[in-house]
Amino acid sequence: MKFQRFLILIIFNYAYYVTNAQDTIVLKTFEINEYRKQTQDLTIKINYTDSITKKQFSSSTLTDLLSQNSQLFIKNYGPGSLATTAFRGASAVHTAILWNGININSSMNGLIDLSLLPVFMLDDISVQYGGTTALWGSGAVAGSIQLNNHSSFNKGFSTSLGTSFGSFDSYSQFGKFAYSKNKLSSAVKFTNTTSLNNFDFFNTSLKPSVNQKQLHAAFQQQNILIENILKFSEKFYYSLNAWHQQSQREIPPVLFQENFGSTQNDVNTRIVSELKYLNKNSKFMFRNALLNEQIKFYDFMADKNYNNKALNSINEAEHYLKLNKHIENHTGLNYTYQQANSEGYLSKPILNRLSFFNSWNFRLINYRLLLNLSYRKEWMLHHQIPFTYSLATTFNLNDILSFKTNSARVYRIPTFNDLFWNPGGNPDLKPEDGFTHEGSFIIYLKDKFTNNSIKHTSTYFTRIMKNWIVWLPENAVWKPQNLMEVWSRGVETESELNFSIQPLRFMFLLSTSYVVSTSMKALYDGDNSVDKQLIYVPMYSGQGNFRIFYKNMYLNYNISYTGYRYTSTDNSQFLNPYWISNIWFAKSLQIKKSHFEISARINNLFNENYQVMLNRPMPLRNYQLVIRYDFN
């Protein structure tokens, strides 16, 4: 009932704004966190999700999109289950997930579940590589995932509706209603997904192997998002984004587990408001965000319910100043209030954080050299947070060859669970602290007459983290300690080829990743993890996408490889590598202002039997059909 009441409230709000809009000129796209994002775009490696890819995964979550279209390794526990990142040999808490410039990682455990983030709710999805805690604060150690919404004025009414049908009794519905005139841009988005998720798999742990069906794995998710932007004048804007989501899921058993029945309900409400003043060479912004997180977990074995809640209030002020055509400055102040309530804490802990950040952009040597210097200082009671900085450059040697570098000091503060969990929480923990360096060269060739092009990027990176927090037993109680030192290094490559053989157009995308991430010191006597690869960090991985475009038809073939993942710290136990192929076909039809599209997808085309995480089976071959209608 709460979700339905929330939906009714938003629809009335949307209808009110639609009926009170007026006419004027068309303005550019309005994006909430454009200042710091532009700072990144100049000098740091970022991969953007194109419109075709976003359409392909319009009825899916970030889990599927990122696992097939990025160099991130997604630790996937199964469809509808927990999915987190292992980015450049780091853990999930070392990736910042940003929605419209706000870090939405859980303050309780430092994670966010990618399976709870539908692609359709987001307008822009990009992956930023390398440490940028100077810009985004705690957690942006290995990189960040940027999720943004944007709107335009004076576009009139538009709508988008879709539905999908898939294997394992999986169904979803999604839609968007948008209206914009001169003073207002307003939109409402929704998704609804349900699945029995009772897929077949081969249990190869038994001899001979047995075909089994996944049990107790059903899930359902609902999302609704409202976006409003009001223009008071040509210089003043106010925006309000409110995103409410809820998920109910059964927790499937691991292999050989006989007693199961646990469930988990997640409820998240995120509200971001922003006031902007835009001048010719100066911009000011004040942003407020409220993040309300609730996790209800039923433990079947203990026959007990656990209710965990967290509330974050984030307030930011930013100022951008263009001093001249060569120099820009960006200054910001952030105050974050965090509160949590859980049976795992003896009290209701509160954390207050204040941070100041500053960034300079320089354009030199006839704009061939772009340089960004950023630094940040954060204060938190009883914790000494290190002064962090980054120096990033881009040098365009000519139209063909360019180079990028980024060196940064990075950090991550302990979570509520690290500090206050009872028993075991350690209030004396230090923030994790490290240094990261990377360099890239980019080769780009394009025929201006045919638009045929080839692009290749190679990136070399290294990162050393100290005071890495690890939970270890102490007097029969697991306790977090600043003990680990981890060295991560590796090479990433990306290649893209575009060419036409009329009437066909082709695109090849190939990415590879080689990551070595090892522990540098023993955690206890007899520890055999030193110089060994961290668990669940594949050393080798890669993927390719082959696309064919013909008039109003698209075909995408995806193949990915994931190498050995060690499941023990001494590397004596491991999961076997696997290859996964997926194919997607879409056909669209344009009738005046209406656009119809039907697409079909086959996942795990060759019926590979594999596990991403130990004793967590994954589906064999499965199918999905999507029908979508757009009107503008």
What residue ranges do the domains of the chain occupy? 2-631
Cα–Cα distance, 430 to 294 (Å, whole number):
27
Cα–Cα distance, 146 to 105 (Å, whole number):
12
Of the pLDDT bands very low, low, confident and very high (cuts 50, 70, 90), residue 592 is confident
The alpha-helical segments, DSSP class H, found in 450-569 are none
- Count of CB atoms within 10 A of residue 280's CB? 7
Give the pLDDT score at 41. Answer: 67
pLDDT digits 0-9 by tens, 22-56: 333 334 455 545 666 666 667 889 999 999 999 99
Average pLDDT, integer, range 148-174 = 94
The CATH number corresponding to 2-631 among 1.20.1260.10, 1.20.1250.20, 3.50.50.60, 2.40.170.20 equals 2.40.170.20
pLDDT digits 0-9 by tens, 393-407: 999 999 999 999 999
Give the pLDDT score at 19. Answer: 35
Q: Where are the beta strands (DSSP E) in 117-262?
A: 124-129, 143-148, 150-151, 156-166, 170-180, 184-195, 200-203, 210-213, 219-231, 236-250
pLDDT for residue 142 is more than 80 = yes
The set of residues, in sequence order, having a beta carbon less than 8 Å from that of 557 and lying 6+ positions away, is 545, 546, 547, 581, 582, 583
Query: What is the chain's length?
Result: 632
Cα–Cα distance, 579 to 409 (Å, whole number):
36
pLDDT digits 0-9 by tens, 465-485: 999 999 998 888 999 999 999
Q: What is the 3-state secondary structure (H, E, C) of 312-370?
A: EEEEEEEEEEECCCCEEEEEEEEEEEEEEECCCECCCCEEEEEEEEEEEEEEECCCCEE
Nearest to 94, CA basis, from 357, 481, 436 = 436
Regarding beta strands 578-591 and 594-603, do their DSSP bridges make them parallel or antiparallel, or are they unpaired? antiparallel
Q: What is the pTM of this model?
A: 0.92
Give the pLDDT score at 26. Answer: 37
pLDDT digits 0-9 by tens, 414-434: 999 999 999 999 999 999 999
16 or 611, which is more confident? 611
Cβ distance 504 to 546 under 8 Å?
no
pLDDT digits 0-9 by tens, 107-119: 999 999 999 999 9
pLDDT for residue 245 is more than 90 = yes
Residue whose token pair is 């499965």: 622
Report percent pLDDT > 90 for the chain. Answer: 86
Report percent pLDDT > 70 for the chain. Answer: 94
Cα–Cα distance, 262 to 253 (Å, whole number):
9
The set of residues, in sequence order, having a beta carbon less than 8 Å from that of 351 and lying 6+ positions away, is 107, 336, 337, 338, 339, 380, 381, 416
Give the pLDDT score at 34. Answer: 61
Cα–Cα distance, 118 to 83 (Å, whole number):
13
Cα–Cα distance, 398 to 382 (Å, whole number):
50
Phi, psi of 536 (to 5 degrees): 55, 35
Give the pLDDT score at 511. Answer: 97
Q: Report DSSP state, residue 146.
A: E
Give the pLDDT score at 376. Answer: 97
